[in-house]
Amino acid sequence: MQKGGLFSGTGATVLPRWRVFFALWPDDDTRARITVLADRLYQCLDGGGRRLRPQRYHLTLQFLGEHPEPCQPLLDAACRAATRMRVPPFELVLDRAGSFRNRAAVCWLGCSAMPTGLQALREALRLALARESLRVHKDRRFVPHLTLVRDASQPWPETALEEPLCWQVRGFSLMRSDMERQFAYGEVGKWTLG
């Protein structure tokens, strides 16, 4: 939490409003296939909870923090970093379903092994952000996943999928979500891999 801003000198805490992150967004065909798979998983592994709408499906690459203001300098620097990157397209195989046990009780699709292309993209992004002097939030342990359900009452057991879903990753985006508008997503920039 940051202090200052409009209420400087009053000791008031300024709450964050914006979350900024880089993410992979599925194309329409991949999103449709994820939706079919999510429907099947929800029926088989039903743990209740709030299902995410398909247009919210994404895989977070790098979180850049929560901010009380629109943070244009951060967005500009992140866009410059992304523009300099050169990483080839790659295939992402979602072959597992499971849960995180935390406050949000998240159920997800994920990978049993970290794809080389995803590792390369994250490393290139980390280096490009460092060149822009952007502080990267340390991931305790990056677990590539695509959230399907939040606030589940029962966790999904980690399960290997009979038919893995193959996603041809051809680009990535810089996103900003507005916590005052139910985490509405806005795309700041989009880049093609290659």
Kind and range of the H or E run holding 79:
helix 72-84
Query: Tens place of pLDDT for every residue, the chain, 194 residues?
Result: 333 333 344 455 666 688 899 999 999 999 999 999 999 998 888 778 889 999 999 999 999 988 888 789 999 999 999 999 999 999 999 999 999 866 568 899 999 999 999 999 999 999 999 999 997 766 667 899 999 998 888 888 899 999 999 999 999 999 998 777 666 788 999 999 99
From 20, 26, 58, 134, the catalytic residue = 58
Is 145 a catalytic site residue?
Answer: yes
Q: Give the residues across from 62 on adjacent strands.
A: 22
Q: What is the CATH code for 17-192?
A: 3.90.1140.10
Q: For residue 137, what is the DSSP state? A: P
Listed residue (187, 45, 27) closest to 108, CA to CA: 45
pTM: 0.86
In the chain, what are the domain boundaries? 17-192
CB atoms within 10 A of CB 16: 14
What's CA 70's distance to the chain center, in Å?
19
Helix (H, G, I), strand (E, B) or coil at 5: helix
Find the catalytic residue in 145, 172, 174, 176.
145
